Each structure stands twice: as C-alpha cells, then as structure tokens.
Structure 1
Amino acid sequence: MVKQIKIQPLDITKAYMTYLFPFSFHERERTKLMEQLEKHQFTFFSLEKEKLQDLYYGEDIKIRHEELDQFFLPFIEDKLFPYSTKKRGFLRYSKGIKESFLWELNDNEIDFLVNSVDITLCPFGIGLLTIRTEMNKEKETLTNVLDFMSHFRVLEPKLEEEKGGQIHQSDRTFTTTNELVLDYLCSPLKPYIVRNKKLEGNYGSLAFFEDERMLSSAFLISDSQTITNDQLYRMGKLDGKDLNGDDFISSTNLDYIERYIQKRVHDRWAPNTYTITSEHTQTTISIKKTHQLNKEVSQFMSIHYYNLMLHYYYKIILLKLSFEHSEVSWRKDKEYVEELIELISKFYSRYYFEEVSVRAEGKEFTHILRESFNLDHLFEEVKRTVDDLYRSQDNQTNKRHNMLLFMLTVYTVISGIYGMNLVIEDWKGMTDWSKVTGYSFFEWISLITALTGIVLSGILLATTGGKGVLNKYRKWKRDR
C-alpha cells in the first residue's frame, strides 16, 4: 500500500532569493556592451576591489573575497575572477538596486527587495543575468514564498495558472518579470540580446532555454524546530499553491518523496540545515537563529553562488552545442561544421572541468549539481557530436579530394597522350577561329581540353577565393 504524505506548515522568518537568466549576445559587441553597462553605473567585479564585499547582498551581509579566492581550483579561479576586462572569462558587472516591490497574484502578496543585479558576460556569447532579492517581511509562510519563487522565475507567462501576476513599485506596475528585469532593472542590456525572429521573447536566441524560466536559488531561515521531508520536497519542486489557492505538493507518495530527497539533498549540517538541488532551484533551509548564520548566508552569496552559476553555464553551453549540431545543414554548412568542432574543442579544453573546488563541501555540491543538471549525459552527447562531425568532415573531404583527383587524372592522361603539348599551330600569334571547323578529331580533343582546363582553373580560383571571403564574413557574423 502506498504511504501518503501530509503537507506540514512552515513559517519563514528570512528569505534571500536569487534568480539566474541566461541570454545570448554578439561577441563583436562585447566591448560596446561593457561600455554601456559602465555608463549605467554597473561596476566591474574584481576580487582586488575589497570595497565591493558588502555592497550587493543585503543589509549586514558581507562576503569574503579571500574565501572566493581559496575555494576554487586555480585554473577555474583564473576564469571566474579575471582581474581585467581584457581577460577572457566570466566578466561580471554588478549594480546595487535596494528598491522595494510588491508582488501579487490572486490572494497572495509578498513584499520583497531587489538588492542588486549582476550581468556576467561568459565565453562564447552566453551571458547570465542575476537578480538578488530578499523577503521584506518579518514572517511569511513557506507556501507563499514558494509560490512567489515559482511565479517570479517565469519571464513570460504562457500557461493559464501563471498569468495574472503583477509587480508594483510606487506608481509603476509590471505585468511580467520580463518587464521588470529588462525594461527597468537592466534596460541597457536589452538592445544587445540576440533575438531569433522565429522565436518569441528575449529568450528567443536560446531555443534550448528550458521552459523560459529562470533558475532560482534561495536561503530560507525558519523558527521551526524541525524540517520535514514534504517541506524539502516542495522546496526542490517549488510547489506553492494550486489553482484553488491551497497548499500544493506535486506528489503524495511518501516512498517517492524519500527517494527524491535522498538523491538531491545535502544534509551534512542536519538537522539544522539542509540544501536541496533540482533542475529548477538550489534551496537551503536552516532552523538556526539568524545571528548564527552570518557565515552560511555569506557563503550562499559567494562560493555557492559561483559554484551554481558555473555549472548552470555548463548546462546552457552544452545544450547550445547540442542544439546547434541538430541545426546543421550538412551540404550547405560545411564551414560551420568546422567552426562547431572548433567551438566544442575550445569549450572542453579551456572551461569544462569535472572538479572545480578544493574543498570537500564544494566537491559534494559539485557532484549534486552535475547530477541535477544531467551534465554527464549532455557532455557524452556532445562528445558523440564531435565524433559525428569529424567523420562527416572526413567523408566530405575525401569526396572532394577524390573528385579533384579524378579531374586531374583525366587532364594528366590527355596531356600525357599529347606528350604534354596541347598547342596547335593555329593558336600561335593571332588565332584564326575560322579554321576550327576544319580541325581533326584529335585537334578537337586538344581544343576542348585546353578551354575546359582554363575555365575550370578560373572557377576553382574564384570559388576558393569566394569561400575564403565568405568564411571570414560568416565567422565575423557568428562571433566565432
């Protein structure tokens, strides 16, 4: 008999919620985009700037740059925290917001603060926009917090149960999260986001962007005595309210919930603190006193944020590579196939690493993130893509070489028959074309061979030069 589970209420006294929104931009416009961000008071983030340690994360929250410096392996740290905008890697621009908003949907209302936003320009034309929010209320139910997180991460509501939410700020009203983020908080970014005309919305350039929802992470603090399995499960699934406004859980099977939690929960600091990671969110819940969690909240904003961001970037870029492979037109995109092979090779050799942290806790979270984001499967798929592309390129190259060899063989044989001399006496000086009609059979062969050889040589030179110019244009256009 299936054991059913009952939803246990839980009050949240503090909630820090972060959202990550991936987008695509043109590499050739990277410099212009950085200039625009600086004009709009976005500051380039560097570990050397100690004054940035307490600017973006909320009142009385300070991250330690030294801890960030020591948490990641050196070859990862060099790319995550470049000291100059001229360096390749993850270029982060941050801006403090510190403004209050009210979110409402049906009978649910939540006051929240937007503490700051980050725009991180990652390699290969992928960017990540981060919004740091904080619950602006002394106490709220877990159901309402999860309902807010579930709806806020939806950029453009499509389903009926997602529609109707509004975000208010003094005399402004935003009907979607997309309006709040791209029309207000990060307006200088909007013109630089690549849009695909075949797809809708600002996520249109990322056809592989799953469900058009942002990835969320949260650090929740409760005054409860215990944390139950149903509460952890709801945090992982972001189960808030159903269509009737009642508390919602997407499974009532206790055995299923226990299996789900066992696979995704990091319980090193149980029974006081748990972290659950899923494809939708990474949420930490603690029942310790707020003043006892300064270090944990700081790590949530720093080392755990960067660990999550890095693995989310891995997921996005692997989906991008798989998607672009599926879009290749083998006959028309031979040069693009070479570019895709080059892109995959560069990503694998420069940025993709299974181990990113030197600490045991970091390795544990890395393992959970890789499983939750299904990175191993995606990477194996990309590796198969590389093998397929190489085989296809070899086949195409062999066919071209065989055809060229056949043509050269024909002309070599004919030239050999004539003793490497295809010149007819009539062609010397001023050619008298009226004598062509009187040519013998072998003279006709000489004429046709000479003319076709000249024409084919011209065509070969023109196509080779044209392809070279076209390839440079395509490479510039595609930002490779």
Structure 2
Amino acid sequence: MQQMKVREKSVDVALFQFILPFSFKAGTEKDIIPILLKDDYKHFQLKHEEDENRYYGQFCVSHQDMRSYFLPFTNKILFPSSEYEKGIQRYSKALNIHGVLMTDLIKIPFQILSIDINLCPYELGFLTIRTELMNSDDLTISNATEFAARFRVLEPKNKRDLQTEIECDGKIFKQVSHFVLDHLYQSVMKYFTLKDPNKAHFKPFPFFEDARMYVQSFISIKETSSYDLVDVYRGVGLCGLSNEGKPYVSANNLPYITDYLQKHSYHRWEPNTFFTMEEHSFICMTNENSEKVTQLISQVYGEFYYALLLNLFHKIVLLKIAHSFADLNIDRDEKEMERLIYAINSFTANYFFSEIASQSQGRDIYNHLRRIFNIELLYNDAKQTLYSLFKYQENANTKKDSLLLLILTLYSVIGQMFGMSVVIGDFAGKINWRHILNYNPLEYFALFVAMSGVIVSLILGFRNIYQWSTERQERKKWVEQTVLSSTKDKG
C-alpha cells in the first residue's frame, strides 16, 4: 500500500493510561484489600484532597471538579466513601519509576507515574497504568503512537512485538506482560484470573482484542502547529511506524479518514482539540496553550477516565452475562439460571444508568462512548436473555406445580373414595398387629395410600426447608458478587 504523506510534528506532552480488564477469583476480594494496603496502595476517595497531585506526575486532578461533574447517584458508585459500600473500589499507588521501551527501530524513554487496581462488582477489575513519555526534541506523534501500540501488547504474536523489550529498574523484560504482571502487579497477581473461566463465577472476558490493553491517550503539540486529520486518525488508530521506520497510516483514502473521524470524534472543541474514541482507544489531541493543556489533562485523568471506566465496566459485564447465558444448560443448571436472573436484575438496579454527568460535554462524551461500545445493543440482548429465562422458569414452575397438584389431588380423591378411617383406627392406642395381618386387599391398599401420603408430605416438607436454606445462602453469595463484591465485612 502506498503510504499517505504525513507531516511529522513534535510533541510537547504525551500521556497514556493503559487499562487492562481482569477477573479475580471468586471469594478472594476480601483477601486482596489487605495486601494492597500493605503494598502501599491507598484507597481513593474524593475527600482525600492531598491526593490531587499524588498520582499524575507534574499535573493534578481536582477532586472538587469530579464531585460536581457527576450526578449524585453516579458519585456513589464511582467514588464510594468507604470500602464497605458498593461500587468501584479504586486503590492507587504512586511509582514514578523510569524505563525504556526498545523496539527494532527506536528506543523510547518513559515514566510510570502511578498504577491503579479498580475492584468492581461481578468479580471484575481494571488495572490502570499511567505513563508519561519523557519530553525530548525527537519525540514525535509517530514515536508516541508507536510506544502506545507496542506497550499495549501483552502477548506478542508478530515479529515487531516479539522484538519489543522494556528496561526498568536494571532489568530487561522480554514481554510487556512480564513487566506489567510480574513486576508492577506482582503482589496481587495470584488472585487474578486473566484467562481461566473456571476460576470465577462470572465468565471472564479479559480483552477486547487479542491480549491488548485499552489505551487512553493525551498528546499535545506546539501551540504554533496545527493538526491534520491524518494525525488524529493515526493517534486513535495507534498507527506509529512502518517496518521501514517511517510514519505509518493504516488507510490511504482521505475521504474514508474524514468519514471515520466524523463518526468517532466529538467535535465540540475542534480544530484545536480533538476527542476521538474507538473500541480499543480514546485520545485527546490538542495544540492549545499550556494553561488549557493543564485543564484538559485534569479532565482526561479525572472525569473522562471515569466515564471510560464505567463504559468498560458496562460492556464487559454485559458480555459476561451473554457468555454465561450461552454456556447455560437450562435443563440441568437451575441454580445458574436463577443466579443469572439475579445478576441481570442487580446490574440494572444498581449500575446501569443512561446519564452520569451534570454538564453537557460530560453527557455527550459518555453517550459517545456508549455508542462506540454498543452498550444499548448489549443491554437489549441482556433484557431479552432475562425475558427468555423468566419464560422458561415460569413454564418449568408451572409444570412442577401441575405435577404436585396432580399428586395431591390423587391422594385426596383416593383417600375419600376408600375412606382412610377404615385402617387409621387400628393405629390408635395399642396396635393390634395380628388384625393388620388379616387385612383384605382393599384395606391394604388404603393402608398403602395413607402411609405413602405421610411419607410424601414429609419429603416435600423437608425438601422445601432445604431449598429455602440453600437459596438463602446462594442469594447471599449473589449479593456479594453483584452488589457488595470487593468489600470486606465491617468489624
């Protein structure tokens, strides 16, 4: 393919947040939190205003702005005031460590500003790695996007990725996954389930693409420069360098690029600032002055990060529900069916809302992400799943009730026809066993009906008590998984 001509531009600021969804093992959320606190993670709360510039390098995030940005019921989910409340529990750790990403073409120095572990309901979590590229004269849009494209790949498959290494803390990591999982998150990795669906109640859906992290980017060029549409397209598509080391564009048709950006961009602040969203990437590119850049970075790290996180949470939970329904054997998995019904209802009641922000730009970007992620389509599928499960459960219960009613009716009719008092009197006071041995066939049949009726009644009674007890225990587990997951018992 003949490459489109690109005017290379120098970058002043290049920030990336790499987000990795994961599932944690069932019932281990109460064990993770003490380890996080011991490993210098801190529970994120808006009231901790001293943390406004702890995790973001030279920049800061206004907690007051975030508090007023989101609607009250959204704040309760995104920023729970304690570890005992439902919602997304964020634990952050400042690192400020330096490293170098090395490919077969270039070496790019970077700094890990901080890392997050977000523990969510439904045994779902998100790892977030905040990264800043070191400012230098040769830092260009191509180098910045090449860094993001290489760093997000956890399991290399092609030649370029296989030749990517990371040097940090005097160590060489042959794969990004070794650096991320075995170095940055080593202390808690034993609790995470990245691939094995049998270790979590809800089937994990860890990656949107083949073992790659989601990328939220912020790229600022000099105020005197201007963007081309190709630059924005390359940024959101993570088009870095070609095999020859030249600026790479994955499309060669300018009308296509224009149409693509028209559908995937939020145009409110163009042509100086572009917000563009894809299923694997969210980017803000700007050529504003330093004061405006600082304000935009605060929003990217703050409000827009949480809008993205919530949409990722919605999408993955809905995908997990769809996968669980696909794996369900409705003829045998009655408990799984009831759990899935509860999961869908709990998700709708506690976490699914169409509006989260009080400001128009916040609502617009949030809704734009929802369209990109097909949230409404996935939610409609979940509602259809719920309807199907309800109808099947209703039909199954109707059949059970009909069978039980038939049994009770037969006993009642037969008992009235034959008169149970014929044999019941023989069992009052001292039993005359010799008389019982001399029963005629009709009396034996009446005795059988009476005794079997008592046995059946006892079995049904004990069975209902057992079912009530087990269902109560199961519901408690469901509540922990879907509402109180990632919290520990108070006291």
Normalised to the residue count of structure 2, the TM-score between the two structures is 0.88
* 1:114/1:132 contact within 8 Å kept: yes
Post-superposition shift, 1:78? 2.0
In percent, how many aligned pairs have the same letter?
29
2:175 aligns with 176
Q: Distance in 1 between matches of 2:455 and 2:158?
A: 61
Partner of 2:107: 109
Q: After TM superposition, give the deviation of residue 95 of structure 1 in Å.
A: 0.4
- 2:10 paired residue number: 11
- Alpha-carbon distance between aligned partners in 1 of 2:187 and 2:435, rounded to the nearest angstrom: 72
Secondary structure of 1:210 counterpart = coil
Label 1:406 to 1:430 Cα distance change in 2 as closer, same or farther (>3 A): same
Structure 1 residues 402 and 364: CA distance shift in structure 2, 3 A: same
Stretch of structure 1 that moved more, 325-334 or 269-278 = 325-334
Matched, 1:228 2:228: yes
Task: Report what 2:268 is aligned to.
Answer: 268
Q: Could you tell me which residue of structure 2 aligns to residue 423 of structure 1?
A: 423
Q: Name the SS for the 1:396 alignment partner.
A: helix
Matches within 5 A, 1:380-399: 380-399=380-399
Unaligned runs of 5+ in 1: none
List aligned pairs for 1:242-253, cutoff 5 A.
242-243=242-243, 245-253=245-253
Q: Relative to structure 1, is the Cα distance of residues 375 and 168 closer, same or farther in structure 2, using a 3 angstrom cutoff?
A: same
CA contact 1:100–1:112 (8 Å) conserved in 2: yes
Q: Deviations over 1:365-423 (max 9, x none)?
A: 01210111111111111111111111111111111111111111111111111234362
* 2: CA distance, partners of 1:413 / 1:271: 84
Q: Provide the C-alpha distance between the structure 2 equivalents of 1:355 and 1:374, rounded to a whole number of angstroms.
A: 15
1:196, 1:205 within 8 Å by CA — same for their partners in 2?
no
Contact 2:12 2:220 in 1 (8 A): yes
Aligned partner of 2:71 in structure 1 is 73
Question: Contact (CA 8 Å) 2:13, 2:221: kept in 1 or not?
Answer: yes
What is the rounded CA distance, in whole Å, between the counterparts of 1:20 and 1:8 in structure 2?
30
- Show the counterpart of 2:156: 157
**Worse overlay, 204-213 or 406-415:** 204-213
Deviates more, 1:209-218 or 1:43-52: 209-218
Distance in 1 separating the partners of 2:331 and 2:218:
51
Q: TM-score, normalised by structure 1?
A: 0.90
Alignment of 1:244-393 (within 5 A): 245-290=245-290, 292-393=292-393
CA contact (8 A) 2:236 2:278 kept: yes
The SS at the match of 1:124 is: coil
Report the alpha carbon displacement of residue 447 of structure 1 after superposing the two structures with TM.
3.6
Unaligned segments of structure 2, at least 5 residues: 482-491
Match of 1:85 in 2: 83
**8 Å CA contact retained: 1:424, 1:443:** no
Q: Could you tell me how far apart the structure 2 residues matched to 1:371 and 1:135 are?
A: 31
With 289-298 and 363-372 compared, the bigger mean Cα shift is at: 289-298
Query: How far, CA to CA, are the matches of 1:269 and 1:390 in structure 2?
Result: 47
Q: How far apart, CA to CA, are the structure 1 residues paired with 2:158 and 2:415? A: 73
Q: CA deviation at 1:210?
A: 2.2
Letter in 2 for 1:371: R
Structure 2 equivalent of residue 98 of structure 1 = 96
* Greater Cα shift, 419-428 or 129-138: 419-428
Tell me by how many angstroms 1:474 deviates: 5.0
Contact 1:8 1:230 in 2 (8 A): no
Which amino acid counterpart does residue 234 of structure 1 have in structure 2? R
Q: Is the 8 A contact 1:242 1:248 kept in 2?
A: yes
In the superposition, relative to structure 1, how do residues 425 and 153 fare at CA in structure 2: closer, same or farther (>3 Å)?
A: same
Give 1:125-144 correspondences, 5 Å limit: 125-138=123-136, 139-144=138-143
* Secondary structure of 2:130's aligned partner: strand
* Contact 1:20-1:131 within 8 A present in 2 as well: yes
Q: Kindly tell me: are residues 15 and 248 of structure 1, through their superposed partners in 2, closer, same or farther at Cα, counting changes over 3 Å?
A: same
Equivalents in 2 of 1:244, 1:454: separation in Å? 85
Please tell me whether the aligned partners of residues 114 and 133 of structure 1 are also in contact (alpha carbons under 8 angstroms): yes
CA contact (8 A) 1:90 1:123 kept: yes
Q: 1:122 aligns with which of 120, 123, 130?
A: 120
Task: Find the aligned partners of 1:347 and 1:460 in 2 and give their Cα distance.
Answer: 34
SS of residue in 1 equivalent to 2:219: strand
Closer/same/farther in 2, CA of residues 422 and 234 from structure 1, 3 Å limit:
farther
Aligned length: 474
Q: What's the Cα RMSD here?
A: 2.7
Tell me, in whole angstroms, the C-alpha distance in 1 between the residues paired with 2:74 and 2:477: 29
Give the Å deviation of 1:269: 1.8
Matches of 1:364 and 1:433, distance apart in 2:
89
1:189 is paired with a residue whose SS is: helix
